Structure 1
Amino acid sequence: MISAKLRGALLCSVLLLASACAAEPPAIGEQTPAASPQETGASGGTITTGDVTTSSNVKHVANVPRTAPFDGADDLGTDLAFQGDYAYVGNFGGFGIYDISDPAAPRIVSQVSCPAQQNDVTIYGDLLVLSIDEPRGGAECDSPDGQEWEGLRIFDVSDKASPRYVGAVQTDCGSHTHTMVPAGETLYVYVSSPGPEPDSPTCAPPHELIQVVEIPMDSPESAKIVAKPNIFPERESSEYSSGCHDITAYPEKNLAAAACFGDGVLLDISDPVAPKVVQQLTDTENFQIWHSATFNNDGTKVVFSDELGGGGQATCDRNTPGTKGANAVYDLINGKLERRGYFKIPREQQPDENCVAHNGSLIPVPGKDVMVQSWYQGGVSIWDFTDSAAPKEIGFFERGPYGGGGIAGSWSAYYYNGYIYSSDMTRGLDVLQINDPLTDPAKQVEMDDFNVQTQKSY
C-alpha cells in the first residue's frame, strides 16, 4: 500500500497524535458537506456521461491514460508544471512531457523512467527539478532501491524528446515538495520534507524546517544546499513532526506561505536565503495536517488546506465537519492573517472514496478570487472565495469510485491558458474547460509558464 510508504501526505499517525486522525461528529452550527452527491453550488444542474459527472458549465475535453512505462500499480500520477505548449507531469515512475498545443488532443512527447516518491516537478528555463522523498541507492535514475540517498534531481529538457539528467542534490529527509524562488541567474529552491526519523541514515535528527538549494542556471550540476533555516526551533521537541509539507512563494511581494504540518506560517523572503517568520498560525481544533497554501492575486489573502487523514481517508462525508479536510480562507490585514471562512466540496463521497482538499491554483480572473482544486476521488472543484467569509463552489468534475480500490483520484488540478489540467493518480491526464461568466475573463490571460508554488501576478 502507498500509505505504508509516504512519509508526509499519507502518514497522519507519524505526523500528529493518532487521536487527531479520527473524524469527529459535527458540532451544532458547523458546516457539513451536503448529503446528496448531486448537490452543488454550481448553477444549471449536472451532466453525467459514463462514470463522469460534471456541473453543466464544465466540459471534459480530453483524457490521456497512463501508458508504459508508467502503467504499473505503483506508477501514480503526481504534480504538474507548464511552459509554453508543454505540460510536465510527475509520476512515481518518473516524469512525462506532454504537447498541449491542442488541449483537446494532448500528445506524449517523452517519458523518463526515474522511479521515486513522489517526483513532484517544476520547470524553469531548460531545467526541470524533481522532488525525491524516498531513500534510493543513489542520485541517478538507474540507481537501485536503497537507503543512501534522497533529495532533488535536475534535468535539462531543452530537447523535449530526450531529457538529460544533469545532477542532483542530497537533502535531509529528502524532498516531499519544493518551491522555486528565481533570483537573476540563480534559482533558489526551498525544499520541504517531513522528519526526522531517528533510525534513518538519510533523515537523522535534528531536521530544520526548510533547506535552501542554490542552482546556478549556467552550471546546474554544481547545485548545492546554501542554508538550512530553522524558522521555529521550539518545534524540535514538540509532539509534531519537524519540517514543512508545502511552501508557496510570491517573490514579487517578498512573501511566502508555508504549510508546516502542525502550523501555517507567513514568511518574509526579501532575502531568499534567510526567510523570516512574520506570523505562525496553529489551529488544532479544525486542522490536522497543514498541507498547502495559495495567495490570491493581490497577495491580500491566503488559502490554507487541511489534508485530514493524509489523503487516504474518506473525509468528504456527513460525519466529518465542514471545517476539517477543507480550506480555510485568511485575509491579510495590516501584515497579519485573520481567518474568515471555510470551503469544502458540497458533494458527499462514498465510504470507499478517499477525499480531502489537495493541490490547486488560482484561475486568473481579474478582480476576483477564484480557485480550482483537486480532491482525490472527490474530483476537481472550481470555487469562488472573493467573499472570504462565504466561499462557494461554481463548478466541478468527478468520476465514480475507482474500481481498482485503494487510493486514487485527482492529485493536482491547475488552470493554464484557458484549460484546467488534472493529474489523476490512476487514470492519467485529464483536460477540462469551464465556461462560466465568472471565469470567462481568465481566458484573456496568457501565461508563458506556470509553477503553482511560485506565484506571479496577472
Structure 2
Amino acid sequence: MAKDMLTPDYARNVRILGHSDQGGRADGIQIMVSGGYAYVGHVFNNGFSVIDVRDAKNPKFVRHIPQPEGTWSQHIQTHGDIMIVNNMCDMLRVETSGAFDPGDYYKGSVADKVDITAGERPYSAGMRIYDISDRANPREIAFFEVPGLGVHRTFWDGGDWVYFSALPPGFSDDIFMIADFKNPEKPEIVSQLWLPGMNTAAGETPHWDQKYRYALHHAIVKGDLAAAAWRDGGMSLIDVSDRHNPRFISHDNPCPPFAGHTHNTLPLPGRGLMFVVEESQADNCEDGIKRNWVYDISVPENPVTIATTLPPDEIDYKSKGGQFGPHNVHENRSEGFQSEELMFVSYQNAGLRVYDISNPFRPEEVAACVPPAPDKLMDYRPNRPVVVDTTDVYVDKAGLIYTTDMNAGLTIMELEGL
C-alpha cells in the first residue's frame, strides 16, 4: 500500500482490519460477500471485481470482469451459487460528454435527457447472470435483456422472483418490475408498477414539480412486502403476494419540505418498523441535508415517521469537501448479518455509521469509522476533492463489516467495545 489505509481519520467502537485497492480499480458501489469472496461493482472502471476476503487482514484481488463498453454495472446481488449484475447506460459518461449539466442526472426525468427509443444502443441494457459455484471464477450463464435505459438496481435474496428498477420506453423514469427467476438462465418479466404520472406513453402527466426526480431506486422485499424508494417521490409499501399483480398499499413523501431522494427502504418486519435512508448527491450539502428516518409500519396502510438520526458532528463534514450524508444501509440479507436493532449506514465523507434503534423513537449512533482519504482519484470528473466517499456497506454473519468507496477501495472492519 502506498499509504497507511488501516489507520482511520476517526473511529469509535470500530477498528479497521484490512484494505484492498481492488487491483488498482479502487472505485466501488455495491458489495456482496459470499463464500469468502467479495464482489464489487465499479462506477468509473466498468465491470466488477472479485476479492478473496477469507483472510480479513489480507484481502487479495483475484480478477476484474468487464462489461460491455458504455455500460454501468455498479450493482450486484448474490445468493447461493448465483450472482446478478445490473447493466444500464453509463450516465456519468453521458454527463461528461456534455449531454447535460453535471449533477442533472439526479434532477427531473431521465427520459428527458437520454433517447432510449433510438435504434442501436451504445450500451447493454438488462441483467447478466453468473454462476459463482467457483467463487473465484464467476461464469456468465445468461443475459436478460430489458429494453430501454437498462436495469439500475435489483433485489434478489434467493427464491423464485427478482425485483428491479428499470426505465423501459414509454415511461418518464425507472419503475418497479418483477421477473420470474425460477430458471436463472431464462428470467421472464411478469409485472410492473409505477407512480401515477410516470406512464407517459399512456398519456399520464407528472403531478410533481419537474425539478424533482420521481424514479424507483429499488425496493427491498421481505416476505410479501416490498418497500420501494422513489428518490424525490418518497417511499411506497407494496403488496407482492401476487407477483403478477403487485399493488400499492400506501405511499409517503416528506419531500418537500425535506430534501428528498429516498434511496433505501429497509423493512424490519419483526418490529413493524422500517429504516429509510436518503442519498446525498451534491458537494457541501448543496442539495440539502439528507437524513435517515425510522417509520412505524405496523399498520402498512398508514406508515408514520417516528424519528430521525442526528448527522455526524465530530467535525464540520458539510465543509470537508465532497458529499456529506447517507448513501446505503446494510439490507439484512439472509446470508449475512441480520439485526432489527443495529443499522449500518455508509455516510460518504463521514465514513461508516452504526445506529442502535432498540428505542425506535430515539435512535443513537453507537459506532463510526472514517477511513483515510485515497492517494488518488478513480473519479475522472474535473475538480473532485480528494476525500473519503464511503458508498456501500455489507455485514457478514460473523459481524465483519465491508465498505466500498468511490475512490479508496475495499475496507474491512469490525465492531469493538459494544
TM over 0.5: yes
Task: State the identity as a percent.
Answer: 20
3-state DSSP of counterpart to 2:350: coil
Residue 129 of structure 1: how far off its partner (Å)? 0.5
**Residue 153 of structure 1: aligned partner:** 128
- After TM superposition, the structure 1 = structure 2 runs for residues 252-263 of structure 1, keeping only pairs within 5 Å, are 254-261=224-231, 262-263=233-234
The CA deviation at 1:371 is: 0.9
**1:76-225 correspondence runs (5 A):** 76-92=27-43, 93-114=46-67, 116-134=71-89, 146-147=121-122, 149-171=124-146, 172-180=148-156, 182-183=158-159, 186=160, 188-193=161-166, 203-205=169-171, 209-217=175-183, 220-225=184-189
1:266 pairs, out of 228, 232, 237, with 237
Aligned counterpart, 2:110: none
Q: Is the 8 A contact 2:264 2:329 kept in 1?
A: no
Cα contact 2:77–2:157 (8 A) shared by 1: no
> Which structure 2 residue ranges, 5 or more long, are not aligned?
92-119, 378-382
Task: Please state how far the C-alpha of 1:232 moved relative to its aligned partner.
Answer: 3.8
Q: Distance in 2 between matches of 1:128 and 1:49?
A: 29
Q: CA deviation at 1:61?
A: 0.6
Assess, with a 3 A threshold, how the Cα gap between structure 1 residues 208 and 378 changes in structure 2: closer, same or farther.
Answer: closer
The residue aligned with 2:364 is: 392
Query: Are 2:40 and 2:49, in contact at CA under 8 Å, matched by a contact in 1?
Result: yes
CA distance in 2, matches of 1:366, 1:190: 20
C-alpha contact 1:255 1:268 (8 A) present in aligned 2: yes
CA contact (8 A) 2:88 2:152 kept: yes
Aligned to 2:16: 60
**What secondary structure is seen at the aligned counterpart in 2 of 1:357?**
strand
- For 2:391 and 2:80, the matched residues in 1 are separated by 25
8 Å contact 2:267–2:274 — kept in the other structure? Answer: yes
Are the counterparts in 2 of residues 54 and 395 from structure 1 also a CA contact under 8 Å?
Answer: no
The Cα shift of 1:398 comes to 0.8
Structure 1 position 328 matched with structure 2 position 293: yes
**RMSD of aligned Cα (Å):** 3.0
TM-score w.r.t. the length of structure 1 is 0.70
Q: What SS does the corresponding residue of 1:314 show, helix, strand or coil?
A: helix
Distance verdict in 2 for CA 1:206–1:434, change over 3 Å? closer
SS of residue paired to 1:67: helix
> 1:60·1:431 contact (CA, 8 Å) conserved in 2?
yes
Cα displacement string for residues 330-371 of structure 1 (whole angstroms, at most 9, x for unaligned residues) = 112333311111113234313422122111226899986111
Distance 1:159 1:400, change over 3 A: closer
Say if 2:363 is the partner of 1:410: no
> How far apart are residue 390 of structure 1 and its match?
1.8
Offset of residue 305 of structure 1: 1.6
- For the residues of structure 2 that align with 1:135 and 1:306, how far apart are their CA atoms? 22
Q: Could you tell me how far 1:134 is from its partner in structure 2?
A: 0.9
Following superposition, the deviation at residue 429 of structure 1 comes to 0.8
| Residues in 1 aligned to 2:363 and 2:395: alpha-carbon distance in whole angstroms | 19
Instruction: Describe the shift of the 1:328–1:169 C-alpha distance in structure 2 as closer, same or farther (beyond 3 A).
Output: same
Q: Shift in Å at residue 60 of structure 1?
A: 0.8
Q: Residue 374 of structure 2 contacts residue 408 of structure 2 at CA under 8 Å; is this kept in 1?
A: no
Deviation string for 1:104-160 (max 9, x for gaps)? 222233321225324200012322101122169xxxxxxxx9436412111122223
Following the alignment from structure 2 to structure 1, what is the Cα–Cα distance between the partners of residues 338 and 213? 39
Query: In the alignment, is the contact (CA less than 8 A) between 1:156 and 1:163 conserved in 2?
Result: yes
2:105 maps to which residue?
none
Would you say the 8 A contact 1:352–1:401 is kept in 2? no
Tell me the amino acid that sits aligned with residue 96 of structure 1: S
- Residue 327 of structure 1 deviates from its aligned partner by 0.5
Does the CA-based 8 Å contact 1:291-1:304 persist in structure 2?
Answer: yes
Shift in Å, 1:373: 0.9
**CA offsets per residue over residues 156-205 of structure 1, 9 Å max, x none?**
2222333222222222331111111644xx3x211114x5xxxxxx6443
Conserved? CA contact 1:373–1:414, under 8 Å: no
| Counterpart residue number, 1:361 | 330
Q: Is the 8 A contact 1:135 1:147 kept in 2?
A: no
Q: Does 1:370 align with 2:346?
A: no
Question: Contact 1:110–1:160 (CA<8 Å) still a contact in 2?
Answer: no
CA-CA distance at 1:299 after TM superposition: 4.7
Please list every run of 5 or more consecutive structure 1 residues that lacks an aligned counterpart in the other structure: 1-47, 137-144, 196-201, 438-458
Change in CA separation of 1:147 and 1:203 when aligned onto 2, cut-off 3 Å:
farther
TM-score (norm 2): 0.76
Residues 282/368 of structure 1: CA separation in 2 closer, same or farther (3 Å cut): closer
Give the distance between the partners of 1:129 and 1:419, measured in 2 at CA. Answer: 23
- Partners of 2:61 and 2:194 in 1: CA distance: 41
Shift of 1:213: 2.1
Q: Matched residue pairs, number? A: 356
Structure 2 Cα separation of the partners of residues 365 and 228 of structure 1: 30
* Contact preservation (8 Å) 2:329, 2:346: yes
How does 1:37-76 map onto structure 2 within 5 Å?
52-68=8-24, 70=25, 76=27
Q: Cα gap change, 1:135/1:422 in structure 2, threshold over 3 Å: closer, same or farther?
A: closer
**Compared with structure 1, are the counterparts of its residues 296 and 178 closer, same or farther at alpha carbon in structure 2 (3 Å cutoff)?**
same
